[in-house]
Amino acid sequence: MIVILPIEVKDRELLTKLLIGYFLLKKSKRIKLVLTKSNTILSKKNSLSKIIYFEKSLSTQKTILHKKLLKNNYVVSLDEEGPFYHWPRLFIENRINLKIINNSNFKYFFLWGNNEKKFFKNELINKNKKKIVTTGHPKFDFLRSNYQNIFKEQISHIKKKYGDYIYISSSFFYDSVMNEDLYKIYVEKTFKNKLSVTNFNQNLDNDYENYIGLVNLTKKLAINNPKKTFIFRPHPRQDLKKVLKRFGKIPKNLKIVFKFTSTPWIICSKYFIHSHCTTVYEALILQKRIFCYRENLNTFHKRSFINFGKFSSDFNTILKDISYSLLNKGIDKPLNSSLAKLIHLDKKKPSSEIISNYIFSEFKNLKSSLKIYKDLNKNKPYVNKYKILSIIKNILYHNFFSIYKLTFRFLPINPNFIFTKDYKEKKIKNIRLNELKKIFKKFNQINRKKYPFLFKKISDEIYEIKRK
């Protein structure tokens, strides 16, 4: 059995996918993991037969790719963006892809929580009961006391450098590596439901008010509490330089940091402040003091997240509540009685193990085949038309942005080309062999096992992992 684990956003996906893979490798020496950067391995030159492809989403933009893949292979999926009940209608329509789910070679749609099922039509659920299963998300496995050891070095670094601090989590489209106007053009050209597109873009505009509000709240809190340390963490899609520019003059006790995944930061914090970030679930599980501030509720998040901890849409009220809590510690810790409806948390088994059990039970007798094409000319310098077009696109974007924008708005160009090199590099970071070895060594320590693993670098974008 060969399981392919494509990684698109390293900071968000790598550890969770590898933990699922670890539990699979525990079950049999006949299993092989192939880790890839995004969908690199689906190149036409590679030969795949009866492999299991662990997809991060069933976006309709991937329909052609998935249909081709499903002819002689299998797909399972766990959406990384967050549970459906926090998404705009546009994204829900896009990611519940009937053409793929109904395919006999599509085997599992793993859900964060049972509430997500209400977004599937009854007919689809009834037809695919065995495919659409609630497992929870492996990201929450790392909040278990033993699995927190995976972040031992990060936690030590954070505590030593920042001590006690208040953590503010950003979750906005604004100040992104991808220009907001270009993203709107991409949405308009990509999605068919124009009403949903209009609704999405309007909600995006409304959410700008919330972003500015959270920035202002963060600065005001830092100024009013000079002896407290505040950490503002940008979203992985945001550009750190743009965020720093947005804040302007920054108080000494306010640190804007994008380093590590969000989990060790939340583990080390005492307070969690946000507007609409799914990492609030981690704060809830860890019983942090939670505050939510959102001036404009007319966004696609609507009333999501506001019931956890203390919420206000009034600047002075939330400022007063947080300041009072910082001085007197008078705000009770949040209750998570409703959490079970939103995310699945199994007391006995981690979600990663549950997912691996589904995959192993379904495919344990599968004989997979994978042949990766090795380019014999990869070290020879050459220039092709794609490189030339990429250079031209980069020049236009950085020097003639208005022309770049008009080109994509009015010319019949594939909207996927709108994404810049900076955007792609921000999402897909390099994965190193030593990094993988270190992670699996820690998994062994956490599980008190001594499984020996073999790691092989096929290329800069493809790695192979199996048991000895």
Q: Which residue has the higher pLDDT, 336 or 72?
A: 72
271: part of which helix (H) or strand (E)? strand 271-274
Provide mean pLDDT across the span 240-259: 92
Residues in the chain: 468
Structure tokens at 262: 């969000």
List, for residues 34-91, the tens digit of each pLDDT value. 998 878 888 778 888 999 999 988 888 788 888 888 999 999 999 887 777 777 777 7
- pLDDT tens across 228-244, in order? 999 999 988 888 899 99
Higher pLDDT, 191 or 253: 253
Average pLDDT of span 162-186: 87
pLDDT digits (tens, 9 = 90+) for 443-456: 999 999 899 999 99
94: its two tokens: 């896009």
pLDDT of residue 464: 93
How would residue 376 be classed by pLDDT, with cut points 50, 70 and 90? Answer: very low
The residues spanned by each domain of the chain are 2-137+343-373+430-467, 148-340, 385-416
Summarize pLDDT for 5-14 with one digit per residue, the tens.
Answer: 998 877 788 8
**Three-state DSSP string of 446-458:** HHCCCCCEEEEEE
- For residue 81, CA distances in Å to 9, 87, 138, 215 come to 10, 9, 13, 23
pLDDT exceeds cutoff 60 at 337: no
pLDDT at 332: 56
Q: How confident is the model at residue 32 (pLDDT cuts 50, 70, 90)?
A: very high
Rounded percentage of the chain residues whose pLDDT exceeds 90: 43
Cα–Cα distance, 25 to 29 (Å, whole number) = 7
- Which residue would you say has higher pLDDT here, 59 or 29? 29
Which residues are within 8 A (CB) of 58 and not within 5 positions of it... i.e. 6 or more apart? 66, 77, 79, 95, 96, 97, 100, 101, 109
Whether residue 333 is predicted with pLDDT greater than 90 in this model: the reply is no
pLDDT band at 380 (very low <50, low <70, confident <90, very high): very low
Helical H segments across 144-193, by residue range: 152-162, 180-190
323: pLDDT strictly greater than 80: yes
| pTM (two decimals) | 0.86
- What's the mean pLDDT in 87-103? 79
Question: pLDDT grade, residue 23 (50/70/90)?
Answer: very high
CA distance 275 to 290: 11
pLDDT tens for 135-159 read 999 999 999 989 999 999 999 999 9
**What percentage of the chain has pLDDT greater than the value 70?**
91
Element (H, E) at 125: helix 122-127
CATH of domain 148-340: 3.40.50.2000
Instruction: Give residue 256's pLDDT.
Output: 94
Identify the residue with better confidence: 133 or 387.
133
What pLDDT is stored for residue 195 in this prediction? Answer: 81
230 or 305, which is more confident: 230
Segment 279-288, tens digit of pLDDT: 888 998 898 9
